Amino acid sequence: MLVEGDVVTIFSSPCLSQDDLLEILLARIRLKEEQALSRLYDLLSKRVFGIAKAILSDPDSAGEATMDVFTKVWNQANQYDPEQGSARAWLNTLSRNCALDHLRRHRRRAKIEDEGGRQETNRAAATSPETQMFRHEQAAHLRNAMKALNEDQIQVLSAAYFEGMSHNQIARSLDKPLGTVKTQIRQALDILRRRLSRDKGEIL
């Protein structure tokens, strides 16, 4: 059989079509013959690079994908089945899939970096002196507005907004009618809105 003959003679034979040569090279690569992989690289590296560059649009990324293709050929040559198609078709598919894998990885990395950048920007904004000053001012205004509420209003408002209790839960907890609880919350919010609006107007 040809695959058991002299490697140099086979590679240089003028009687072989390129498809036949690719078949033989893959058979030799399955036997872990580095010379066969080197010959395959010489034959197809430009084509593989072209496929990768068409998908990735970046020469450096295409170069990385090209090297990955031949690494996969070396490791996965035994997966090629001549009954499923030609060696050329198998190698073209492997090239496209490898380039697409690189594209997906680049997109995931870009998405993660973009998300990380947004989070960093948000953290920087949240901890900026201007933001901290604004929060302190808002808290001061709220504390001042709360002074206008009576004890019952503070109690129901705290239960609703700081403890996350529903109106029904507040009514049961304080042993008050549900309508009374709703009224006290509404009155408390109205007072806060008026006081906060007044404070804002004074600042402006």
Residue range 4-50, pLDDT digits in tens? 444 444 445 555 678 888 999 999 999 999 999 999 999 999 999 99
149 burial type by CB count under 10 A (0-12 exposed, 13-18 middle, 19+ buried): buried
* In the chain, domain spans: 2-123, 129-203
| Dihedral Cα 151, 157, 160, 166, nearest 10 deg | 70
Contact between 64 and 102 (Cβ < 8 Å)? yes
Residue range 86-135, pLDDT digits in tens? 889 999 999 999 999 888 877 776 666 566 556 655 665 555 565 565 56
The CATH class given to the 2-123 domain equals: mainly alpha
In CATH, the number for domain 129-203 is: 1.10.10.10
Indicate the SS3 state at residue 80: coil
Task: Identify the pLDDT of residue 8.
Answer: 44
Which one has a higher pLDDT value, 13 or 193? Answer: 193
